[in-house]
A and B are shown apart, each in its own frame.
Chain A
C-alpha cells in the first residue's frame, strides 16, 4: 500500500521538552512538507524539502528543525523554543517532475504540550 505514515497519532509532552514527529512515505515522491493546523486557521508551512540533504524554511519555521537524510523520511523536531507548539501537525509529499504539484497528506500527529 503506497502512502504517507505519521507517528504517533497523539503525542503529549511537558513544556521545555523537545519532541520529534515521524513522517515516512513510500510514494517515491521527491518533495516533502510539514504544515501545522490550528483551529480557525489554514494550514501553515513549517519546512519543506525538494531533495535529500536539502530543506528550506517555510512561513513559520522558528522553533522547529528538520532533517532529510533519506528520500522516504522527513522528521520534524519541535523544540522548546517554539512558543505555541500545541497543534495538529501534517506531513505531505509531492512529485516535482511534472506540472501536477499535487500534495498528499499523511494522517497527522496531534501534539499537546502542557
Chain B
C-alpha cells in the first residue's frame, strides 16, 4: 500500500463546475496536510494547507480533512481552464521545531474543459 494515494486521473470537469480531488494516507501519526498545484514542466506551488479536522476555505479552494478516515480532499469551485494541472497531496508527521519530511502522492491530473 502506498503511503499517500491519489487517483492519477485525468479528472475532467466542465468550466464552472466543482472539481473534487481526493487523497488517502496510511500514517495515522500524520499531523499536517498540503495541496500543491503543478503545471506541466513546472515546480509545485503550495495552494492549501490544513492541520485540523474539518474544512478550510481560501477563495475558490476548500480543503477538507478527516483524520479518523485518513483522507484529505480539495474542492475547486467555479473551475477555470487555468486550473488544469496536476494536484499533489502531501502529508507530514512533523512536530514543532523539526524539519518537515513531506510524503507526496503521485498526483491527480485535472482537466477543465470549455
Contact = CB atoms under 8 A, between A and B. Distances in A.
Given A99-B51, A107-B42, A41 B98 contact: no
B46 A31 contact: no
Interface residues of A, number: 29
Contact of B43 (A31, A40, A98, A107): A107
A30 B96 CA distance: 13
A45 interface: yes
Main secondary structure of the interface of A (DSSP, over half): loop
A106 B44 CA distance: 8
Interface residues of B, number: 27
Contact of A101 (B32, B42, B44, B88): B32
B98 A42 contact: no
Interface of A: 30-31, 33, 40-45, 48-50, 56, 58, 90, 94, 96-108
